[in-house]
Amino acid sequence: MSMEVLEKYFNIKADRSIRTRRYTRYVSNGLLYTIVNVTHVEQEVLIELYEMSEHMAKHSDKKVSRFVAAQEGTYLVTHDNEDFVLLQNQFHKVKPNRKTGRQLARFHYRGKQLQSQVEKLNRTGEWKKLWASRLDQMEKAWAGMSQEPPRDEFDKMFLESFPYYMGLCENAIQYVTDTELDEQPQYSDYRTITHKRFYDSLWKSEQEIRNPFDWVVDHPSRDLSEWIRDRYFKGSRTCMPDIKKFLYEYQTLLPISSYAWRLLYARLLFPLHYIECVEEYYSSSSQSVKKELEEKMSGYLRDTQDYEQFLRVFYDSVGIKKPMPVVEWL
C-alpha cells in the first residue's frame, strides 16, 4: 500500500525499498522517501513537526527528514480512510567513529534558534507534572493489585519492588524542585529541539536520518541523560569511559551549566526503565514479550545496588568539581 500511496499522490516511482527496524524506506533518483501513517496524530502536532523540520533544514542540518508536498499541494493525504505524510532525505552513509556528543551539541545549537511557538510538543518545565501523573497511575494499579495474591512472577516482583521505586520517583521530583529553587538557568539552558528518547544507535542506523517524529521541545539535558541511561543499561560495568567521552565531546561546543547537570541527574534518578517495563508488561498481550519483560525486570531488581552506586558516584565519575547535592540514602 505504501508504494501505491507514493505513486498515486506524489507521482514518485521507487527504484527499490530498504527495510529498517522502524520503517520501509523507498529509493528514487538517489533520494530516500518514508511514508508515515499519521491517522492518530493531531493536526497541530503535524504543523509543529513540519516547522521544526524546516527550521533544522534551513539551519544546514543535511540529515533531517523534510515533508514532501503531494501533487495537490497538501502535505497530508488520505488513502483508504487513513492519513499519511511523506518524508524525504538525502542519502548519507553512516560514518564510523563519529563524535555523537559533538553532533548532538550541534543539533541542540540549531534547535535553540527555533522561533516558532511549540505548544503540543513542548515538554520544557513539565517533567514534575508528567512524572507525578505517571507515578500516581502506577500507585493506583499497585494498590488495587495489593488486595489479591500475585497471579504470576511479574506481579510478585512488581508488588514487592514498587514502594522502593516510588521513593526514587519522589526523590527525582524533589530534585527538580530544589534545582529550580537553587540554580539560575544560563543561555545554554534555553529550550531546544530534543528527542523523546535519545540513544546511541538512533543516529548510527537508518542512514543517519533525523526524523522529526522522534522530537519534542525540551531542556537539552533530556537527551544527555537518556543517552547515558541507555549506555548504562547496555553494559553498566564498562559504560563510564564512553559516558565521559560523550559528555566531553558535547562540551567542546556547548557548556553544561550547574542547572543542567542537576536536571540531567534528576532524570537519571527517575526510574524510567522500571516504569516502562511495568507499563509495557501490563499493556502487552504477547506471551513472548511478557517473558522478555519479566527477565528484564528480574535484572533491574537484581542490579538495584549497582544502579544506586552509579548514582552515588555519578558527579565524581564525570569530573564535576563543584559540590552538587546528593541523595543521602543512596
- Position 153 scores a pLDDT of 96
The architecture in CATH of the region 2-91 reads 2-Layer Sandwich (3.30)
In this predicted model, what pLDDT tens digit does every residue of 121-178 receive, in sequence order? 999 999 999 999 999 999 999 999 999 999 999 999 999 999 999 999 999 999 999 9
Query: 110-140 burial string, b = 16+ CB within 10 Å, else e?
Result: bbbebeeebeebebbeebbeebeebbeebee
The residues, any chain, with a CB within 8 Å of residue 177's CB and separated by 6 or more, are 128
Q: Which of 15-24, 54-63, 109-118, 289-298 has the lowest mean pLDDT?
A: 15-24
CATH 3.90.1200.10 fits 127-317, yes or no: yes
Interatomic CA distance for residues 101 and 116, integer angstroms: 26
In this predicted model, what pLDDT tens digit does every residue of 271-329 receive, in sequence order? 999 999 999 999 999 999 999 999 999 999 999 999 999 999 999 999 998 899 989 88
Domain boundaries, the chain: 2-91, 127-317
Three-state DSSP class for 66? strand
Q: What value does the mean pLDDT of the chain take?
A: 94
**Range list of β-strands (E), the chain:** 16-19, 24-28, 31-37, 66-68, 77-79, 82-90, 192-195, 215-218
Q: In this structure, which amino acid lies at residue 79?
A: H
Query: Is the confidence at residue 211, as pLDDT, over 90?
Result: yes
- Position 127 scores a pLDDT of 98
Q: What length is written for the chain?
A: 330
Q: Report the predicted TM-score, pTM, of the whole model to 2 decimal places.
A: 0.94
